[in-house]
Amino acid sequence: MKKLNRLFRQAAVAVGLLVAGVTQSSAQVDMNKFHAIVDWQVNSPLSNDFTEKMSGWGMNFEVLYDVHPNVGLGGFMSYHTNHKYVGRETLSLSSTEALTTDQQRSAFQLPFGLSAAFPLVNNSIAKPYLGVKTGAMYAQYTTYFGTGGVQHDSWGYYVSPEFGVRIHPTGQHWGLHIAGYYSYATNHVQTLTGEIKGLHNLGFRLGVIF
């Protein structure tokens, strides 16, 4: 857990430094082209039964700079946790081993990296856009059972297309943010019942943009 907290703090500091760097490094930066996004996130893992249950235990943080009216570039970091309770059953661990237990499964995912957004319309209150995020994915999959459990950490390459809308109700810089996304990461995760190769997710985000 300490390792996870340290990782998160390092990622938070990195994003903070990125933000600070952008603002401090150039007096020519047009702050009207700079956007910071903070989202609440709802996510559901796909294509594996480790924990496919949807949850709202996640956040997304993003900074973007409009290098062109139709192109914004920046960085992001998000995290999410999904849980699933599995009732008591007998698991076959190998050709001779069997284990009877219930399980409380927890999947924690923390991707971070670069993001890009391509606004489709620029002159309206609601500004739809297509976006893509890419970078690294840290995943920690834990199965709690009995008095202990098994845990596995992994790293992988992450990519996530998304479609969203920025809503500026007053025409000012600040506004609301809505986005739906799909993500894929190349992580290989060992669990109590087997290996998961590749992490697929589907979800949406609601938040604010400054």
The β-bridge partners of 107 are 141
Contact of 29 with 63, CB cutoff 8 Å:
no
Counting contacts by CB under 8 A, is residue 54 touching another protein?
no
C-alpha radius of gyration, the chain, whole number: 20
Counting contacts by CB under 8 A, is residue 181 touching another protein?
no
Counting contacts by CB under 8 A, is residue 59 touching another protein?
yes
Counting contacts by CB under 8 A, is residue 97 touching another protein?
yes
- CA–CA distance, 64 with 157 (Å, rounded to integer): 21
Of these, 33, 36, 161, 202, which contacts another protein (CB under 8 A)? 36
DSSP string, 74-100: EEEEEEEEEEEEEEEEEEE-SSS-EEE
Q: Which stretch binds another protein (CB under 8 A): 95-103, 164-172, 186-194, 198-206?
A: 95-103
How are beta strands 175-191 and 148-167 bridged, if at all?
A: antiparallel
Where along the sequence are the contacts to another protein (CB under 8 A)?
Answer: 1, 4-5, 8-9, 12, 15-16, 19-20, 23, 31, 34, 36, 38, 55, 57, 59, 61, 77, 79, 81, 83, 85, 88, 90, 95-102, 104-106, 108, 140, 144-147, 210
